[in-house]
Each structure stands twice: as structure tokens, then as C-alpha cells.
Amino acid sequence: MSMDGVAVVGAGTMGNGIAHVAALTGLDVRLVDVSEDQLAQALKAIEKNMDRQVRKERMTEAERDEALARIRTTTSTVEGVKDVDLAVEAVPEKAELKYAIFKELDESAPDHAVLASNTSSISITEIAGRTERPERVVGMHFMNPVPVMKLVEVIRGLATSDETTRAVVELSERMGKTPVEVNDFPGFVSNRVLMPMINEAIFCLMEGVGEPEAIDTVMKLGMNHPMGPLALADLIGLDTCLNILEVLHRELGDDRYRPCPLLRKYVAAGWLGRKSGRGFYTYDA
Ligand code: NAD
């Protein structure tokens, strides 16, 4: 299956990173968003991030210019996906929104095109069930920041075909990533393992077992984690963490995934981590 043209639907944090790496791989990229402003900001972010790679001599100026020229933007999903081989959806983590977009992608993308979601926790099988091509629907879970992080968790829905899986595994490798194939269960592997650890660190804080710095230092120096779980939760966003824990709790029906009350309290207060300036730590604007 040839993969030359890709649409990235949603030009936020993850969408601009995916477009960046796809353009550097030599793919023709259509970046789609409902907001013109967001598209302009995404292009600016991609240019800034590529400039940094030029300064670090990881690419030449000519390579940057060629990659940027391969990205076209549009606010029309129909226009954006009409002749692509792959569409990667990276809109906000809301199930109903994703279902609606996949219906639109299914109607507008060519029959042969693979439809992928970058979802962190929504069932690929359920998304696929909204389309007429469930065998060509798959999860491509990139990590943040996309140009830096090596992993792509490739998630097979119940109906995802071997051919589709093979195509996105090969494409991920072309993009310089390490794809890992997993099956569709709540939280996949990444968040099924990460979120309970973060949640337990928050319980430690709530119960007074240790201060945030103590908890993070134990995990950094004792377990060789590059970042402590509380600092990582602040980076991911505490609302996002709560959201994913709620999915795990609801879908797996096991109380070991119950979100820590302190996490709920922080989110209710608007202490969402780095993006709001305050979470388990405080951040300068
Ligand atoms: P974001 O809020 O930064 O970006 C989402 C973008 O989608 C926005 O620009 C918004 O304007 C656009 N959008 C909304 N509705 C749309 C529509 N109907 N059509 C086209 N565009 C639309 O979100 P994000 O952090 O980039 O997350 C995107 C997805 O990636 C989510 O599913 C999230 O769970 C997943 N994810 C996020 C991270 C992370 O660390 N941020 C990591 C892995 C996976």
C-alpha cells in the first residue's frame, strides 16, 4: 500500500507535530482544522521547531524549506482528505466529536485510504464501527512532543486488517519512529500503565507520604525515570489525566483505577498543570 499523501485533521499540539514529521519524511501533507487561526499558529510552530533543528544541524535550511512547502492547510475536511492515502485524526479527546469526524472522513477520503486516530483512550473498535471500512481504521498514538519522541503505539481494533497494520507500521518506521503493535483495550498499554502510576503518586501526596519534590525524586533517582510522575502529570495536563483515569475506571470496572480525590480537586480548581501555570508545581507564564 503506497503512503504518499497524508491529511492531519486537527492542528493543535499533536497535529502540528505529526504534520512536521510527515513533511520531513517527504509526504504531501494537508493540515486540516476548523480554525484559520489555529492553522496559522500551527504553521508558525512547525517553522519554529524546524528552525531549532536547523540550528542544531539536524537538517539543512534547504530541507526545512522543502518540508514546509509540502504542507498545505485547509479548513475543509472534505477538501483536505479527498486524495490522500492516510488521514490521521488529532482533534480533542471527545468521543462524540471523533465519531462524527470519522464518519466524515469515511465519506470523503478515497476508498483505499487508511483512517487513523491519535486518541489516547477512546476505543478504536468503537470509532471503526462508525465507518464502512473498519478494516482500514487503526490507532496511531504518537507521543508528545512528536518530533522528539520515538514511540508510535499502533492500536489494532477488532476488525483492523493485517494489511492496514503493516502499512502504518512501515510508515511509522519511515517517519523515524519505533512502532509497537498493541490490541484495543482501554488506555492501550501506554496509559494503562502510566496513569495508575501517576494516580498512586497523587495518593502519596494526598496522604502526606511525601512532598511533590520527594515523590518525583524517588522515581527519578530510584527508578531512573527521566521525569517524576507529578511533573509528568503537570506536563500532560491534569484534566487529561483525570479524563483517561475515568475511561480506565469506567471501561475496566475496577476500583484500582479510581481517580484520586486530590486530582479531582485540582482539576475543579482549574489547576491543570503547566498550561494553566499551576498544578503540583507552579510555572511562570
Ligand atoms: P489540541 O486541543 O491541542 O488540538 C486539537 C485541535 O483540533 C485544535 O486545533 C482544534 O481547533 C481542532 N479541532 C477541533 N474540532 C475539529 C474538527 N471538527 N475538525 C478539525 N479540527 C478540529 O489537542 P492535542 O493535545 O493535540 O490532542 C489531540 C489528540 O491527541 C487527542 O485525542 C489527545 O488525546 C491525543 N494525544 C495528546 C497528547 C498530548 O500530550 N497532548 C499525547 C498523545 C495523544
Q: What is the CATH number of the domain that holds 76?
A: 3.40.50.720
121 within domain boundaries: yes
Judgement on whether residues 135 and 266 belong to the same structural domain of the protein: no
Considering 161, 183, 205, which residue would you say is the last residue of a domain?
183
Q: Which atom of ligand 1 is nearest to the CA of 35?
A: 11
Tell me which residue has cell 486537527: 10
Judgement on whether residues 163 and 35 belong to the same structural domain of the protein: yes
Judgement on whether residues 41 and 174 belong to the same structural domain of the protein: yes
Predicted confidence at residue 101, as pLDDT, reads 98
Predicted confidence at residue 93, as pLDDT, reads 87
Q: Which three three-digit cell numbers place residue 155?
A: 492500536
- Determine what percent of the chain is predicted with pLDDT higher than 90: 96
pTM reported for the whole predicted model: 0.93
Q: Is 97 exposed, middle or buried (0-12, 13-18, 19+ CB in 10 A)?
A: middle
Q: Is 120 a catalytic residue?
A: yes
Q: Which atom of ligand 1 is nearest to the CA of 11?
A: 9
The pLDDT tens digits for 26-65 are 999 999 999 999 999 999 999 999 999 999 999 999 999 9
Predicted confidence at residue 204, as pLDDT, reads 98
Task: Point out the catalytic residue in the list 20, 117, 153, 199.
Answer: 153
Q: Which atom of ligand 1 is nearest to the CA of 100?
A: 18
Judgement on whether residues 237 and 131 belong to the same structural domain of the protein: no
176 within domain boundaries: yes
Residue to mutate (ligand 1; options 13, 105, 126; most atoms within 8 A of CB):
13
| pLDDT band at residue 188 under the 50/70/90 scheme | very high
Considering 121, 148, 183, which residue would you say is the last residue of a domain?
183
| CATH, residue 210 | 1.10.1040.10
Judgement on whether residues 150 and 263 belong to the same structural domain of the protein: no
Predicted confidence (pLDDT) at residue 285 exceeds the cutoff of 80:
no
Separation of alpha carbons 145 and 171, rounded Å: 18
Q: Is 153 a catalytic residue?
A: yes
Judgement on whether residues 131 and 217 belong to the same structural domain of the protein: no
- Bridging pattern class, strands 137-142 and 151-156: antiparallel
284 within domain boundaries: no
Q: Tell me the average pLDDT across 183-196.
A: 96
282 within domain boundaries: no
234 within domain boundaries: yes
The pLDDT tens digits for 242-274 are 999 999 999 999 999 999 999 999 999 999 999
Ligand 1 within 6 A of CB of 90: yes
Predicted confidence (pLDDT) at residue 11 exceeds the cutoff of 90:
yes
DSSP of 95-119: HHHHHHHHHHHHHHS-TT-EEEE--
Number of domains in the chain: 2
Q: Tell me the average pLDDT across 194-216.
A: 98
Judgement on whether residues 156 and 197 belong to the same structural domain of the protein: no
Predicted confidence at residue 32, as pLDDT, reads 98
Predicted confidence at residue 130, as pLDDT, reads 96
Judgement on whether residues 202 and 104 belong to the same structural domain of the protein: no
Predicted confidence at residue 1, as pLDDT, reads 82
Predicted confidence (pLDDT) at residue 92 exceeds the cutoff of 80:
yes
Considering 155, 183, 211, which residue would you say is the last residue of a domain?
183
Q: Which domain holds residue 236?
A: 191-276
65 within domain boundaries: yes
Which sign, positive or negative, has the C-alpha torsion 102, 93, 252, 183? positive
Predicted confidence at residue 6, as pLDDT, reads 98
Judgement on whether residues 103 and 69 belong to the same structural domain of the protein: yes
285 within domain boundaries: no
Judgement on whether residues 79 and 25 belong to the same structural domain of the protein: yes
